[in-house]
Structure 1
Amino acid sequence: MPESKPRDVGAREPARDLGLSDAAISAGRIESDENVWTRRLVLFLRVMAAVSMLQGLYHWAQVTGFVGTEDDAFEAQSMAWQSATIYFAVIELVSAVGLWLATPWGAVVWLTTVVSMAVIELMFPTIYGGNLIVVGFQAAFLAAYLALAWMAARERPP
Structure 2
Amino acid sequence: MSDTSARDTLRDQARDNARDRDNAMSVAAISSERIEPDDNGWTRRLVLFLRVMAIISIVKGLYHWAQVTGFIGGEEEAFENQSMAWQTATIYFAVIELVAAVGLWLATPWGAVVWLTTVVSMAVIELMFPGIYGGSLTVVAFEAVMLAAYLALAWMAARERPP
**Does TM, normalized by the shorter one, top 0.5?**
yes
The aligned residue for residue 52 of structure 2 is 47
Q: 1:2-55 CA deviation, whole Å, 9 max, x = no partner?
A: xxxxxxxxxxx96558635641425xx674221111111011001100100110
Cα RMSD of the aligned pairs, angstroms, is 1.7
The normalised TM-score by structure 1 is 0.85
- Matched AA of 1:142: L
Shift of 1:157: 1.2
Say which structure is richer in helix.
2
Q: 1:45-85 CA deviation, whole Å, 9 max, x = no partner?
A: 01100100110011000000001111110001000000000
Helix, strand or coil at the partner of 1:56? helix
Gaps of 5+ in 1: 1-12
Task: Map 1:104-119 to 2 at 5 A.
Answer: 104-119=109-124
- 1:19 equivalent in alignment to 2:26: yes
The normalised TM-score by structure 2 is 0.82
Alpha carbons of structure 1 residues 156 and 140: separation in structure 2 relative to 1, 3 Å: same
Helix, strand or coil at the partner of 2:102? helix
Distance in structure 2 (CA, Å) of the matches to 1:86 and 1:70: 19
Gaps of 5+ in 2: 1-18
Alpha carbons of structure 1 residues 66 and 30: separation in structure 2 relative to 1, 3 Å: farther
Alpha carbons of structure 1 residues 33 and 21: separation in structure 2 relative to 1, 3 Å: closer
- Matched AA of 2:51: R
Distance in structure 1 (CA, Å) of the matches to 2:140 and 2:35: 40
Distance in structure 2 (CA, Å) of the matches to 1:157 and 1:21: 25
Distance in structure 2 (CA, Å) of the matches to 1:23 and 1:133: 51
